[in-house]
């Protein structure tokens, strides 16, 4: 295994091609969701709100596949080694996070989320996992990526996790700006009661 303390190795570990591929994907994801960009592109190409969401999801899927292709084709260096037992535990966390991601989607109407049905304004709800954390999709996505780091401890998997951690810190705050615009004080009170990413041991009243 290459010396992990060498400058070239640390540079590749922290700021390699895979890292910037993920950051580009995340930037475009947030950029296309901003209200000004959505409004401009919708009017420019005559898209309804439903049509724009369908376009956005198709674009996200294609770009995500491209990032995975870049990651799979990019040569990776191992950053540490783990016994099989620990990798099996990490695999268990990965399966758990996938299950919890599935549970997180219960607060969304999938046909609307994908863009197959028209979006309608729904009352604010903090049911299911959202009663314990405001952004379970982000939380369990990070847990899944961290699990992959321990299953496949390489520069590629670490860069994927690092880029995701950095994006989530920005992404959930941008999302909450929009939610405050929609739900106002109701959502601000929810922010005070419920943690963003990691559930509190004791929730505030």
Q: What pLDDT is attached to residue 7? A: 67
The residues of the chain scoring below 50 in pLDDT are 1-2
Closest CA to 29 of 126, 178, 170, 196: 170
DSSP conformation class of 46: T
Q: What gap in Å lies between CA 139 and CA 197, rounded to an integer?
A: 5
Tokens of 116: 């197959």
Q: What gap in Å lies between CA 90 and CA 114, rounded to an integer?
A: 30
Q: What gap in Å lies between CA 105 and CA 109, rounded to an integer?
A: 8
Q: What pLDDT is attached to residue 16? A: 86
Please say whether the dihedral angle defined by the alpha carbons of residues 192, 195, 199 and 200, taken in this order, is positive or negative: negative
- Whole-structure pTM value: 0.83
């Amino acid at each position: 295994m290459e010396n992990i303390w060498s400058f070239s190795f640390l540079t590749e570990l922290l700021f390699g091609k895979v890292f910037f591929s993920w950051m580009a994907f995340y930037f475009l994801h947030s950029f296309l969701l901003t209200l000004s960009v959505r409004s401009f592109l919708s009017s420019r190409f005559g898209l309804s709100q439903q049509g724009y969401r369908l376009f956005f999801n198709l674009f996200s899927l294609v770009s995500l596949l491209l990032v995975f292709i870049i990651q799979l084709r990019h040569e990776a260096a191992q950053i540490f080694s783990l016994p099989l037992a620990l990798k099996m535990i990490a695999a268990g966390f990965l399966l758990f996070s996938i299950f919890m991601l599935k549970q997180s989607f219960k607060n969304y109407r999938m046909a609307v989320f994908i863009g197959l049905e028209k979006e309608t304004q729904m009352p604010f709800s903090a049911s299911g996992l959202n009663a314990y954390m405001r952004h379970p999709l982000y939380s369990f996505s990070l847990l899944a990526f961290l699990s992959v780091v321990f299953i496949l401890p390489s520069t590629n998997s670490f860069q994927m996790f690092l880029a995701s951690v950095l994006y989530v810190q920005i992404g959930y705050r941008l999302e909450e700006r929009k939610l405050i615009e929609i739900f106002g004080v109701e959502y601000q009170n929810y922010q005070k009661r419920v943690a963003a990413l990691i559930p509190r041991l004791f929730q505030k009243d």
